Amino acid sequence: MNSGSGIDKVLKDLQVRMMNEGASTGVQNFSNGEPVESFSPVNGTLIAKVKSATKADYEKVMEAAVSAFKTWRLMPAPQRGDIVRQFGEKLRKHKNALGKLVSFEMGKSYQEGLGEVQEMIDICDFAVGLSRQLHGLTMHSERPGHRMYEQYHPLGIVGIISAFNFPVAVWSWNTALAWICGDVCVWKPSEKTPLCAVACQNLITEVLKENNLPEGISCLVNGDYKVGELITKDTRVSLVSATGSTRMGKIVAKEVAGRLGKSLLELGGNNAIIVTPNADIKMTIIGAVFGAVGTAGQRCTSTRRLIVHNSIYEKVKQALIDAYKQLRIGNPLDQNNHVGPLIDVEAVKSYTSALEQVVKEGGNLVVEGGVLSGVGYESGCYVKPAIAEAEPHFKIVQHETFAPVLYLLKYNGDVQNAIDIQNNVAQGLSSAIMTSNLREAERFLSHAGSDCGIANVNIGTSGAEIGGAFGGEKETGGGRESGSDAWKVYMRRQTNTINYTTELPLAQGIKFDL
């Protein structure tokens, strides 16, 4: 176990140990698979090992989940909400430790790690209130003496497949809502961040034990894509919520649809900020730089493209170059640094390949990138954020590179030209426009405007707050998580008609006399 950066104390505080926690059903931890090694991109050291779940381990987990659902679904929703409230309190107690583990295992800044845990706390608070508002609808029947309404019931088992870049928050978005809806959850986290998942499982385990609740309400199965395949193919899993690449999402969607299951997909993004002549340049630079380099460009909402009007292009470009000169790259646990490492050396290869490709296609690097080496960069995962002048049709610009690479694109004429450039990619997650012109802002938000699931005015593309539904269109998958009425995806809808008379009239006036 690694002792650098005080992480050994963090692991102890969170009860994360080198143990067989590849599969876990609340209080029981068991696994017989191959070990998953967790290396920190911060310094390249091995933090710990977690055994992966075998098919037999998975079956034990599913048996516990099936059994737990029979009890959990009968608990009144406000009582389920109180369990989520208690979990939120555990997160508040361990916020600093869990935030530090997220930073060390994933590589994002400590502030972003804390922010991710705060997102978990926020969704718990949101879910607690929602537990008293799982409403249906009442409508008038065309038949006398009849009452008709709709209500929602729990789905059953929700499978959650999460990605490395948000190793804890996205799980909580799903599970907090699924729990208050009466579902139980089976979580397959990224094999690149298994310890964060074990830490969260340990915290909810404490809550379940303290309330004498079935252990299968929250289940964990660590491992590679093969474990994910067990979830997607399992007819006992009513909903599969998968976050990751578009390639992965298409595989999951096909498999789940083949058994007529439900899927919730949060996939790739190729997000753009439109900068009009009416933009506040200072605000633009802040939003664009954080969007492009925050989490080392490894957010699904990271800013990939900056579409700037020709009349202010040079001014914006120079301001960006000046801002990038101020960036500090290094250990993300040092709060003086702006940018931490990429997740692993494979991500570094994708980054360097993207820079080579944009130049090959005719682009120009105005802020050159490169891989950092030497003291403090021993992991080989640290890179310089780069900016490239490019054209919208470049293949690499159409592709999502999960790294701090920002493409500068020009547009002329009306704002609709910029909107068309923005929309002309396969992905449709997040978008933004910087303008003080009301007409430009409203055009951007209109039916002819952004085709993304998220469209912002005078803020960047990166980040989302609990309360609004999160998700995107096109190759982003169409899913919605977190706020608004996203809870409905975790439930099944049922229409009920009650006849309180002694007659049996049929709908549409059909006569059927005996």
- Positions annotated as catalytic residues are 266, 300
* Integer Cα distance of 152 and 169 in angstroms: 26
Calculated CA dihedral for residues 339, 340, 344, 345, nearest 10 degrees: 60
Residue with tokens 């998968």: 242
**Using a CB cutoff of 8 Å and minimum separation of 24, what contacts does 318-322 make?**
319/281, 319/284, 319/285, 320/285, 320/288, 320/289, 320/366, 320/367, 320/387, 320/406, 320/408, 321/366, 321/367, 321/387
| Chain centre distance of CA 251 | 18
Residue 204: closest CA among 130, 124, 127: 124
Calculated CA dihedral for residues 165, 354, 412, 319, nearest 10 degrees: 70
499, two tokens:
């006849």
Beta bridge partners of 455: 431
CB of 156 within 8 A of CB of 183?
yes
* Integer Cα distance of 60 and 495 in angstroms: 35
CB of 62 within 8 A of CB of 236?
yes
Type of residue numbered 123 = I
* Integer Cα distance of 455 and 427 in angstroms: 13
* Integer Cα distance of 59 and 54 in angstroms: 9
Handedness of CA 332, 110, 180, 74 (dihedral sign): positive
Dihedral pair phi/psi, residue 57, rounded to 5°: -60, -45
Beta bridge partners of 29: 24
β-bridge pairing 28-30 and 35-39: unpaired
**CB atoms near residue 89 (< 10 Å):** 14
- Sheet harboring 262-266: ordered strands across? 28-30, 23-25, 218-221, 184-188, 157-161, 237-243, 262-266
* Integer Cα distance of 78 and 84 in angstroms: 10
| Chain centre distance of CA 30 | 27
Count Cβ atoms within 10 A of the Cβ of residue 45 and give its class: 0-12 exposed, 13-18 middle, 19 or more buried: middle
Residue 316: closest CA among 212, 434, 199: 434
Sequence-distant (≥ 6) Cβ neighbours of residue 462 within 8 angstroms: 271, 290, 291, 294, 299, 301, 302, 303, 430
* Integer Cα distance of 75 and 119 in angstroms: 26
38, two tokens:
């967790």
